[in-house]
Amino acid sequence: MKPEPSKKTEPLPLLLLVEDSQTTTALLSKYLGHTYRLLHAKDGVQAWDVLEKNPDIAIVITDIHMPNMSGHQLLVKIRKSDGAHHKNMPVIVMTTAEDNVDRNLAFLNGANDFITKPIDEMELVARLNVHYRLARTIRELEASKKALAEQATTDSLTKLKNRRAFFENGTKAVALARRYVSDLSVLLLDIDHFKKINDTYGHAAGDDALMVVANILLEMSRTEDTVARIGGEEFALLLPDTNRLGTAVLAERIRSAIEREQFIVGDKIVPITVSIGIATFGVDPADSIDQLLGVADNRLYLAKNAGRNRICV
Ligand code: GH3
Ligand code: MG
Ligand code: MG
Ligand code: MG
Ligand code: MG
State what percent of residues in the chain have pLDDT above 90.
Answer: 92
Domain final residue pick, 129, 151, 173: 151
Whether 143 and 230 share a structural domain: no
Q: Taking the CA atoms of 248, 208, 191 and 235 in sequence, report the sign of the dihedral they define.
A: negative
Looking from the CA of residue 198, the nearest atom of ligand 1 is: 29
Of residues 176 and 97, the one with the higher pLDDT is 176
Mean pLDDT of the region 146-161: 97
Of residues 119 and 87, the one with the higher pLDDT is 119
Domain assignment present for 3: no
φ, ψ dihedrals at 19, nearest 5°: -160, 130
Pocket of ligand 1 (CB under 6 A): 157, 190-195, 198, 203, 206-207, 210, 232-233, 304, 308
pTM of the model: 0.77
Residue 82 Cα to ligand 1 midpoint, Å, equals: 48
pLDDT tens, position by position, 192-241: 999 999 999 999 999 999 999 999 999 999 999 999 999 999 999 999 99
Nearest CA to ligand 1 atom 14: 195
Look at the chain and report how many structural domains it folds into.
2
Whether 104 and 198 share a structural domain: no
Domain containing 194 — which CATH number?
Answer: 3.30.70.270
Whether 107 and 179 share a structural domain: no
Looking from the CA of residue 204, the nearest atom of ligand 1 is: 29
Confidence of residue 53 (pLDDT cuts 50, 70, 90): very high
Domain containing 30 — which CATH number?
Answer: 3.40.50.2300
Nearest CA to ligand 1 atom 25: 232
Which of 287, 184, 199, 191 has its CA nearest to residue 241?
184
The total of other beta-carbon atoms located within 10 Å of residue 239's CB is 24
**Ligand number nearest to the C-alpha of 308:** 1
Domain final residue pick, 93, 125, 151: 151
SS3 13: coil
Nearest CA to ligand 1 atom 22: 232
Domain final residue pick, 93, 120, 151: 151
pLDDT of residue 217: 98
Whether 36 and 105 share a structural domain: yes
Give the 3-state DSSP-derived string for 124-157, with helices as H, strands as E and coil as C: HHHHHHHHHHHHHHHHHHHHHHHHHHHHHCECCC
For ion ligand 2, residues whose CB falls within 5 Å = 20, 63, 65-66
Q: Per-residue pLDDT for 8 more than 90?
A: no
Q: What is the identity of the amino acid at 163?
A: R
Provide the residue range defining the domain that includes 38.
14-151
Confidence of residue 89 (pLDDT cuts 50, 70, 90): very high
Mean pLDDT of the region 72-88: 88
Nearest CA to ligand 1 atom 27: 207
Domain assignment present for 8: no
Whether 307 and 177 share a structural domain: yes
